[in-house]
Amino acid sequence: MNKTLIILKREYLLRVKKKSFIVMTILGPILMAALMIVPIFISQMSDKKAVIAVVDETTLFTERLKSTDNIKFIPLEMDIQVAKDNFDKNRYDAILYIPMSAINTPSTMRLLSDKYPSITVKLYIESQLKQELESMKLSASGIDKEVLKSIETRVNLTTIKITEGGKEETSYPEVATALGIFAGILIYMFIFMFGAQVMRGVIEEKTSRIIEVIVSSVKPFQLMMGKIVGVALVGLTQFLLWIVLTFTLVGIFRAAFPEKFSIKEQAKIYTADNKMLNPDELSKIADIKNTSAPSDTKNDVLNAIASIDFGVMIASFIFYFLAGYLLYAALFAAIGSAVDNEADTQQFMMPVTIPLIFAIVMAQFVMNNPNGPVAFWLSIIPFTSPVIMMIRIPFGVPYFDLILSIVLLIAGFIFTTWFAAKIYRTGILMYGKKVNYRELAKWLFYKS
């Protein structure tokens, strides 16, 4: 067997057998599945229909309050006192009391309930009442209701991403943002976590002095690469297990609660409002499958999740994790080789970690303008590109940027590996010497 492979195998098995690896592998998917499932459940909790009894002394509103999927208005022909007394017996969630005085003093209207009504219910009722009061007042001032309707415009901006072949696709900037930052942070964590593992491994070999035995059998470069690639495979295994387990968990939930995951027919509440628009535009809106009603959070969440291109995300994550990790792991290995113990790593860690931390700091900025010049440059410079490109990808990245970034990143890790190998082969045999940057620079020119 090739010796690099023997080393790789040891490094890999050593780490995947560790308890911490197993714990992480199980906890990760539970967290990620929760991230996908919990919003769906939460969005459906408000799905319960709120039944509002309406005691309307003015009789002006009863007919006009529109019930929706979530709120149902039931007119009550009784005195408010009676209604209040019978509140427990009847299954209302709340009583909307509109006294005679409400026409002139709207603040006398009351929403009575034994619990706090949800904010959406309250806001909806308020807007309904406001609308009706306004239209009544307008009519009273002699403005025709039809004229009013024609003036009233509802703007519901649907963001559309134009994809290949001019196809239009509803985009979810919020989802892209969340997904981008999640992937970016994950890459950042993975690079740090597994890079540090490489570094600790190198330090361990050096301090336990086994290094000399090993490099009398294999070349330092083989040992370094065996370790780096071995740990990379550990990272990859962890990630793939996470993906498989997450989708399995989500799949189990989907099977267990199918009704929560089905996308409902679009609510038609806005068609009425839109009927004054010209038919062309109307049909255009109808064409767009995912025109969503803001109130329908569940469909939103489901559509948003459906809008994620998991294939692209996973593939690019794997590439940027591997290439970014290789770039940094080589440097971490070089740091490990240059010091005698972990405490001495600080001075060398700084310049290596700063670009990574900088990338995370710039994440917010990049998300606000994912195709701007800052995002462009940071996503093609190899030291920041793994994190920044992952943030950009959910927003859609031009092929030119992507290819440039990939090529530079590959060139970057080849360079850092070459560079690190030179420091590594000298460093691992150097003991009891306080190493500084000048010393490191000299090592670069020693004959191997």
What's the CA gap between 123 and 334, in Å, rounded? 60
Among the listed residues 47, 174, 212, 281, the single contact to other proteins using CB under 8 A? 212
Is the CB of 2 or the CB of 369 nearer to other proteins?
2
Cβ at position 200, least distance to other proteins in Å: 12
Considering only residues 58 to 97 of the shown chain, the ones binding other proteins according to CB under 8 A are none
Q: What are residue 444's phi and psi, to 5 degrees?
A: -60, -25
Task: Work out whether 447 is an interface residue with other proteins (CB under 8 A).
Answer: yes
CA dihedral for 340, 345, 351, 355, sign (positive or negative)? positive
Is the CB of 13 or the CB of 38 nearer to other proteins?
13
Q: Are 314 and 243 in contact (CB under 8 A)?
A: yes
Q: Are 61 and 74 in contact (CB under 8 A)?
A: no
Considering only residues 410 to 429 of the shown chain, the ones binding other proteins according to CB under 8 A are 429
What's the CA gap between 187 and 316, in Å, rounded? 11
Pairing of strands 160-162, 71-75: unpaired
Task: Work out whether 210 is an interface residue with other proteins (CB under 8 A).
Answer: yes
Q: Tell me how many helices (H) and strands (E) the chain has.
A: 19, 6
Question: For other proteins, how many residues bind (rule: CB under 8 A)?
Answer: 26
What's the CA gap between 17 and 37, in Å, rounded? 30
Task: Work out whether 161 is an interface residue with other proteins (CB under 8 A).
Answer: no
Task: Work out whether 14 is an interface residue with other proteins (CB under 8 A).
Answer: yes
Cβ at position 196, least distance to other proteins in Å: 17
Cβ at position 184, least distance to other proteins in Å: 34
**Burial class of residue 207 (count of CB atoms within 10 Å of its CB; 0-12, 13-18, 19+):** middle
User: Which stretch in 19-27, 153-161, 174-182, 440-448 sits in contact with other proteins by CB under 8 A?
Assistant: 440-448
In this structure, the number of other CB atoms found within 10 A of the CB of residue 425 comes to 20
Task: Work out whether 448 is an interface residue with other proteins (CB under 8 A).
Answer: yes
Task: Work out whether 260 is an interface residue with other proteins (CB under 8 A).
Answer: no
**Burial class of residue 287 (count of CB atoms within 10 Å of its CB; 0-12, 13-18, 19+):** exposed
Task: Work out whether 208 is an interface residue with other proteins (CB under 8 A).
Answer: yes
Task: Work out whether 219 is an interface residue with other proteins (CB under 8 A).
Answer: yes
Cβ at position 397, least distance to other proteins in Å: 43
Cβ at position 420, least distance to other proteins in Å: 18
CA dihedral for 13, 14, 19, 22, sign (positive or negative)? negative
Among the listed residues 74, 175, 178, 215, the single contact to other proteins using CB under 8 A? 215
The number of C-alpha atoms within 13 Å of 380 and in the hemisphere containing its C-beta is: 15
Is the CB of 154 or the CB of 209 nearer to other proteins?
209
Kindly state the tokens that stand for 26: 């199980």
Cβ at position 369, least distance to other proteins in Å: 48
Which parts of this chain interact with other proteins (CB under 8 A)?
A: 1, 3, 6-7, 10, 14, 204-205, 208-219, 429, 431, 442, 446-448
